[in-house]
Structure 1
């Protein structure tokens, strides 16, 4: 193992240990919500008995009764400057796709526009983008064909001082612009579905980058509680919003508790995490499914969902991929919600039920049962209906889980095959992956907050262990280790007073002192800290500051600490003489400095020129200390090396 790697391990060890210890200790409760058992029960026995008595004569059959379907689209990001086909294809979606599917409701769950400037990192509402959005709705006449329920995302509130501001173009151009959060009840036959729209965008809407997390205030929570109470009279309740619950800060006991009566919460915002997580689904501890949908912006994704006899099914599709197929009975075993759904209806059903859509028309729907070797043709319920059914005996599949295959061909020759696992009575239902549960069920804001403090504490512990009298204990501990000489040399370098105090200053500044003074929203100034923004004579909470601080620590403070110590040691060991390896350290310093200057430009573009000279985070504890340490390390020579060795309690005899 080479010297640089050994030295980095010595420097990084206390930082990693302390930061993760702090983070795990504080987040124990939060993480426990996400680390659920791999298997969950098929149904709650007490609830099952009650439902059997109440719905004894209701089960999926070969009729259109007790069936409705809807769609969701999210993260449209209509942009005036880039990818004009995004708007054209959105209009095609509102025309061709909606006409073919004929949903009762379409949910547009935020980030309707992009709100980013063309030539800089700054952000703000662009009325032309909102005109384009309104034009798509108007020219496609989609609001005449279905109920279009839209809501704001974080991009829709960039640089919006308040909901009543003239900059809030959602209010004047959106379908539901008169509302923030709202409750819509859709009735079909004797049934009803409650759709609760949750607007968790911050008020005021900061410019980016500090507008990424959602916030629910006490007043908003009371309103959402009323909506949840009103929705109890509906057969099924669906919540939707822009942010996943893990990205929303809300008063205790939390927004997940408030929506505990819903069968599902539908969201967007994460854009499939850049393709790393195309399917982000989880089952909340309350029994509510949380289903994040990938974006329209880059992936052209949308969702088709159905409520069939109070059982919710859904599938996500790419634009212009036909036919669209959704098996509503038996529903996919992965998405059973035993607390909220009458799953016993699957066992009492008489028919398999499939929704199939295509603008070309459906040619055939064929179904392969688990114990069959040949496909059977399903029958269309009505001539114009998208529902196809096939008789079956559900009692044959009472034990365990089984696989159903559906093959659909449209009149244009397009074929789609769906393989779906189901269960009717007693089964162990596999849960969602740990990573997906952590992303959707953890508290992401708290994660970054504790990681930030843990990293700062870890870096300071490392500096104080090696740079004060505590180094003697470190040296005694390291004597039995083959690399104890390296620990001793690093300790000698850290004890240089100018290096020790400058690195401590850089480490503690992000969590203790003001970051900058700037124009947070147009015409209104504030002071940014790690724990919030002071503006309008009040603290405006936001977790994005902690995420930014963690990024700053990872990309600047920790690399600066390692680079300064290692370069200073190299200069001292070589008596100030030039070595070709010193070029590596100069390149390292230059990279750190350029990155800080880039971040400083981003903040200046976003929050005005005043945020540059007042920027304590990036300028006075970033750029200036980097230049100072770079110069001081470069000027270290033989005299400094000798002086440092004299100060060290370790003599040659100790070696």
Structure 2
């Protein structure tokens, strides 16, 4: 029976796009899709010159969101304001009127959302809203997290940790651009990852903008959709974070979320592999095998949405590679067949499957770790002084 692959990011659930309460800690969402938009939701530029918010852009955003959620009512849509969404606005008027997470109208922070991971462990997603209010142009290149907001975020993280949840923080501003009197990096290190935007490709100098700090914090930037059409698929399976960046349109897309190895004796090993498969057509079947010369294609079992799994047996007398999960993934092949009759063969490799993170460039590590808020603050202060003197 043909199955339509869902274009998703992780597991979750979404009801009504605008009116349904998203207090995720009252209900654990299972088995559906989650989409995180780290902003900017709009561009607010005319011929390269920044202007105030453009109502037509917000109308387009609201229309597209409604259209997508009407097609898949189970998708949780998590949007958060960026600096482009708040140019010269006192109270985020356009964001409040058009965004899905309208609970920002009540307080600075949207509600935490709790979802179920692929391995059954719960995940709590916590928003980091550092957008300036009001969002005066130029100044809102930096974010600001006040003390009360920091305390609320810390309390939510402590509650999630006490339940044994994996924590994912998401926001618009990287930590290097957030002004805070508290140790934000230490707080975020309690999570598996902090997903952010704003700097995108580091002013065009870094393709993979991510870094891992000495305290364990993993901070992931992502190129903007407007110019590069790049998006990220992220999954947590059995407590392990896997992710990969994809340039649209690229089909099919395969992310290997989990590989477990066990010995059957007499040199026989079993690999249990789970993978997420996305296409722009209806999927007829997904098959895997290890290397060109080993064994036959094994048809994967479909779980739900984009999730497939298979068990691959390997006799190491005929296997020329070390007996570990990494070497298995380096040599795995995936065959995706669609109902149209087309078939695509992928030799994904570790980086291509998301199982091994791409090497961050020295430039990205520098941009994400240098305290840009100190540099920019000094520049803005000098500009203000010169303006006053003139």
Establish whether TM, by shorter chain, passes 0.5. Answer: yes
Alpha-carbon distance in 1 for matches of 2:242, 2:367: 22
Map of 2:154 onto structure 1: 225
Alpha-carbon distance in 2 for matches of 1:114, 1:511: 27
More strand by share: 2
Map of 1:353 onto structure 2: 274
Deviations 1:124-154 (A, max 9, x none): 1222221211111112325613010110011
C-alpha contact (below 8 Å) 1:194/1:234 kept by paired residues = no
State the superposition RMSD in angstroms.
3.6
Residue 383 of structure 1 deviates from its aligned partner by: 7.5
Map of 2:347 onto structure 1: 417
Map of 1:365 onto structure 2: 287
C-alpha contact (below 8 Å) 2:32/2:305 kept by paired residues = no
The 1:377–1:397 alpha-carbon spacing in structure 2 relative to 1, beyond 3 Å, is: same
Deviations 1:505-527 (A, max 9, x none): xxxx974972336xxxxxxxxxx
Map of 1:176 onto structure 2: 101
Q: Is 1:435 the counterpart of 2:363 in the alignment?
A: yes
Alpha-carbon distance in 1 for matches of 2:360, 2:303: 39
Deviations 1:299-337 (A, max 9, x none): 11111111211211111112221001101124xxxxxxx
Residue 420 of structure 1 deviates from its aligned partner by: 0.6
Q: Please state whether the residue corresponding to 1:144 is helix, strand or coil.
A: coil
C-alpha contact (below 8 Å) 1:323/1:410 kept by paired residues = no
Deviations 1:101-141 (A, max 9, x none): x952110111101123x368342122222121111111232
C-alpha contact (below 8 Å) 1:322/1:416 kept by paired residues = no
C-alpha contact (below 8 Å) 1:353/1:388 kept by paired residues = yes
The 1:251–1:126 alpha-carbon spacing in structure 2 relative to 1, beyond 3 Å, is: same
Residue 292 of structure 1 deviates from its aligned partner by: 1.0
Map of 1:248 onto structure 2: 178
Q: How many residues align?
A: 338
Q: Is 1:124 the counterpart of 2:52 in the alignment?
A: yes
Residue 281 of structure 1 deviates from its aligned partner by: 1.6
Map of 1:407 onto structure 2: 334
Q: Please state whether the residue corresponding to 1:389 is helix, strand or coil.
A: strand
Q: Please state whether the residue corresponding to 1:137 is helix, strand or coil.
A: helix
Map of 2:220 onto structure 1: 291
Alpha-carbon distance in 2 for matches of 1:440, 1:146: 31
C-alpha contact (below 8 Å) 2:96/2:102 kept by paired residues = yes
Residue 260 of structure 1 deviates from its aligned partner by: 1.5
Alpha-carbon distance in 2 for matches of 1:367, 1:235: 34
Residue 261 of structure 1 deviates from its aligned partner by: 1.2
C-alpha contact (below 8 Å) 1:113/1:156 kept by paired residues = yes
More helix by share: 1
Map of 1:379 onto structure 2: 299
Alpha-carbon distance in 2 for matches of 1:149, 1:511: 37
Map of 1:205 onto structure 2: 135
Q: Choose which of 70, 82, 85 in structure 1 pairs with 2:10.
A: 70
* Structure 2 counterparts to residues 440-459 of structure 1, below 5 A: 440-447=368-375
The 1:409–1:119 alpha-carbon spacing in structure 2 relative to 1, beyond 3 Å, is: closer
Map of 1:514 onto structure 2: 385
Alpha-carbon distance in 2 for matches of 1:171, 1:236: 29
* Structure 2 counterparts to residues 236-635 of structure 1, below 5 A: 236-253=166-183, 255-330=184-259, 350-362=271-283, 363-368=285-290, 373-374=293-294, 376-382=296-302, 386=306, 387-392=308-313, 397=322, 402=327, 403-411=330-338, 412-420=342-350, 432-447=360-375, 511=382, 514-516=385-387, 616=389, 620=390
Deviations 1:566-614 (A, max 9, x none): xxxxxxxxxxxxxxxxxxxxxxxxxxxxxxxxxxxxxxxxxxxxxxxxx
Deviations 1:454-498 (A, max 9, x none): xxxxxxxxxxxxxxxxxxxxxxxxxxxxxxxxxxxxxxxxxxxxx
Alpha-carbon distance in 2 for matches of 1:376, 1:69: 30
Structure 2: which 5+ residue stretches go unaligned?
A: 1-7, 12-30, 264-269
Alpha-carbon distance in 2 for matches of 1:409, 1:187: 26
